[in-house]
Amino acid sequence: MPDEESLLDLTVRELLDAVAARTSAPGGGGAAALAAALAAALTGMAARFGDGSAAQEADALRARAALLADADAAAYRAYLAAVRLPRDDPSRADAVTVARRDAVGVPAEIGQIAGAVADLAAGIARDGNPNLHGDAVAAIHLAAAAAATAAELVAANDPPDDALASARAVADAARARAAQA
């Protein structure tokens, strides 16, 4: 997949092929972002069959999460470029620091969005149209998986302790929502 092509412009088949390809991106971060976006889409749909007040919030979360699929791939490519700089390059240390910050920041944001989707979907599962309860619960489970994946990716990128604790707390809360559903 060319670097400038958005995951959002691929067909589902092309997306699945891109994720399955022997390349480093798209990977777990892109998949987590798209899972969070899909969870938000389900949440929005379920909200529209109830009072609809949560639909706009779900749509905003979906839009934010979807953009992070491409941002994750870009952050990872930047990190790889930074660590591949020659060790004696005076700009290498700063480049790696900045790239690592972004490689932590994007999945951390994916996790935050996924946690918000899980919370929103839980309210719809509880109070929304009972005919859409299963869709709202599916959204909670997708969001919880996205949050857990994002926390693992944050952990893999040698984050500051507070970033890791925050990502894990969001994932734990989303998993708790899923268990309650």
Residue type, 111: G
pLDDT computed for residue 156 by the predictor: 86
Domain extent, residue 60, equals 28-180
Nearest 5°: phi and psi at 157? Answer: -105, 25
Model confidence pLDDT, tens digit, residues 1-36: 545 689 999 999 999 999 999 988 899 999 999 999
The answer to whether residue 8 is domain-embedded is no
Number of domains in the chain: 1
Residue 163 sits at φ, ψ, to 5 deg, of -65, -40
pLDDT for 59: 97
Domain membership flag for residue 7? no
The mean pLDDT value for 37-54 works out to 93
Report yes or no on 135 lying in a domain. Answer: yes
Is there a domain that residue 77 lies in? Answer: yes
Q: How far is CA 41 from CA 9, 126, 130, 135, in A?
A: 17, 18, 18, 10
Output the pLDDT for position 3.
52
Rg, C-alpha atoms of the chain: 17
Tell which residue, 68, 11, 5, 8, has the closest CA to residue 36: 68
Average pLDDT of the segment spanning 58-62: 97
Q: Determine the pLDDT at residue 56.
A: 95
The CATH number linked to 84 is 1.20.120.680
pLDDT in tens, 75-120: 989 999 999 999 999 999 999 999 988 888 999 999 999 999 999 9
Give tens-digit pLDDT for 120-175.
Answer: 999 999 999 999 999 999 999 999 999 999 999 998 887 777 888 888 888 888 88
